[in-house]
Amino acid sequence: MAVALETAEGFLQEHNISTSVQDSKVESSLFLNASPRHSHDEPRLFAAEYLDEPKIMASGEVVLGSPPQAPVLSVYSTELDGEISSCIDAESRDILMYLPVGVDRSNITLCPGGLPLDIWHHVIDNIDDIKTWEAFGLTCKVLASRIIQISREANQLLWRDCASPDLRELHNQLVHTPLAGHLLHSLRIPAVSMTKLFYEFSGKLYKIQNIHIQGDGDSFGPVLPPLRLPLLMAVSAFQSVTEVNFSGVVFWSTADFGRFISAFKNLKYLSCEDISLKRATMCNVVDQPFAKHLCLRSVDIIEPDDLSKYKFLLVSQRLFRYMTYLTIMETDVTGGARCTLHVSQTDASNEASRDDSLVSENTSSSALVSIKWYFRGCEWVRTLLELLDDVFVHTAPSTFGQICVHLTPDRGTERSFTFLDAGPPMFAGFRVKPPCPLTIMKSFYKDNHFTQIREVINPP
């Protein structure tokens, strides 16, 4: 440091410059920088970064600048008022975000009845009567939004993620939320907890509508035990259930599957994704006596491999008398093959669907089948057509008056149908003795023009 000071003083004297500094200690404003590019005999000197540049006065003096002062921060009252107003507006929007679309979000009160919202929230959380709880939602917009928020959060907790095998999340909901049994509409549980759910919570979930039963997704995974009569009686207590989803579940037998879905008195929507059957004991479960009250409106099937195992469900004369939509997909993501079957009921069929005693063999309807696939789904489409052939052979005589099948490869040409030429023709079993007219349409692009080829198979 002494060498650096002597060097600085020599520099100033050589240029006939005097210094005037507030602090007599010059070393407080100078630093010795030992750079690798400089030897220790030639230290490099520079002013501290926090000092202003030296100012050369008219008299020749150099005044070293003082460290800059930190700016004084001040908040004006107008800015503060604006911040408070924006926070209040944001809070109001957040409170009302659960209101239905179309409800006016102006002219609200943040203190219903003169009490702050946190007190009202405590009151709502301790109500154990569903009618009183719903009446709170009719008093004002703020409390209505809170009521809707609690209901949605209760359902999202047990639907977004699969419950644990011991169903402790569901237990906690019923213990800490008095009205959880009236608020839960959807539930996702593991397959191993299925019997536990129906035995322990029978008669406690009053508004449950959708149950998703999730397995391991492996046909060699845990197999559900045979379903006994006491369990089926417990299942029948869930009368509010209208939709059941199976994902990767392994049933003991086809009879167990049929008895289980038939135990729900008001089941309308069924979804099966990659289910497996340990033993195939019957071919058509819907036509059995235990399924006489089963009236499915929509069935979704997601199966990438073996579609033939669903014959026990689809090869049924009674199923299509009530069903409106059947969707069969290779995968649930975009890019897989897809088949949609829409059943249009006639007036007589609609009347019969209201009363099971009116269903007769003369009830007929029309079926519109749309099949769309990509270039990688050719083999899956071939398996699908074989399944539909079996379905139409067994159900068309007493169910369908006419059938139309529309084949559309994605961005395909006439060559997209060449895989159908190998082997027997489409609907080979149906062609033997057609019970009703069957129209097959192939749509593709030829010479950059959209083209359709129609084939009609008429009864003899």
d(CA 311, CA 331) in angstroms, rounded, equals 19
Single-letter residue type at 316: S
Distance CA 272, CA 249 (A): 9
| Mean pLDDT in residue range 36-41 | 43
E-assigned strand segments in 185-240: 186-190, 210-214
Residue 335, sorted as left (phi over 0), alpha (psi -120 to 50) or beta, turns out to be: left
d(CA 198, CA 201): 6
pTM: 0.70
- Range with lowest mean pLDDT among 92-96, 311-315, 392-396: 92-96
Name the E strands within 80-176.
none
Q: Do 440 and 426 meet the contact criterion of CB atoms below 8 Å apart?
A: yes
Q: How many CB atoms lie within 10 A of CB 425?
A: 11
Contact between 354 and 309 (Cβ < 8 Å): no
Q: What is the mean pLDDT of the chain?
A: 76
Q: Cα(381)–Cα(428) distance, rounded to whole angstroms?
A: 15
Q: pLDDT at residue 261 above 90?
A: yes
- CA distance linking residue 57 with residue 340, whole number of Å: 91
Q: Is 411 left (phi over 0), alpha (psi -120 to 50) or beta?
A: left
Backbone angles phi, psi at 44, to 5 degrees: -100, 135
Rounded to the nearest 10 degrees, the angle between the axes of helix 168-176 and helix 141-159 is 160
Check: CB of residue 64 under 8 Å from CB of residue 21.
yes
Of 395, 404, 393, 390, nearest to 437 by C-alpha is 404
The number of angstroms, rounded, from the C-alpha of 32 to the middle of its chain's C-alpha atoms is 64
Residue 60 pLDDT: 52
Most confident of 18-27, 41-50, 136-145, 401-410: 401-410
Nearest to residue 427, comparing CAs of 459, 449, 457? 457
Whether pLDDT at 53 is above 80: no
Q: Please, which pLDDT band fits residue 102 given cuts at 50, 70 and 90?
A: confident
Tokens standing for residue 398: 């007493």
pLDDT band per the 50, 70, 90 thresholds, residue 82: low
Q: What is the CA radius of gyration of the chain?
A: 38
Nearest CA to 253 out of 231, 216, 228, 235 is that of: 228
Pairing label, strands 400-409, 365-373: parallel
> Which pLDDT value is given to residue 312?
87
Coil, strand or helix: which one is 325? strand
Residue 367 has pLDDT above 70, yes or no: yes
Per-residue pLDDT reduced to its tens digit, 215-245: 876 656 688 888 999 999 999 999 999 999 9
Q: How far apart are CA 458 and CA 439, in angstroms?
A: 9
Q: How much helix, strand and coil, in percent to the nearest 5, is found in the chain? A: 35, 20, 40
Q: Greater confidence, 89 or 374?
A: 374
Is residue 249 a contact partner of residue 278, using CB atoms and an 8 Å limit?
A: no
Contact of 221 with 248, CB cutoff 8 Å: yes
pLDDT over threshold 60, residue 88: no
Q: Which residue has the higher pLDDT, 267 or 8?
A: 267
Whose structure tokens read 């679309």?
101
Joined together, the tokens standing for residue 149 give 């928020």
C-alpha to C-alpha distance for 116 and 71, rounded to whole angstroms: 41
Cα distances (Å, whole numbers) of residue 165 to 161, 197, 241, 308? 12, 10, 21, 31
- Beta bridge partners of residue 157, listed in sequence order: none
List the strands of the sheet with 55-56, edge to edge: 19-20, 62-63, 55-56
Nearest partner of 225 among 205, 199, 244, judged by Cα: 199
* DSSP E strand stretches across 274-324: 276-279, 298-302
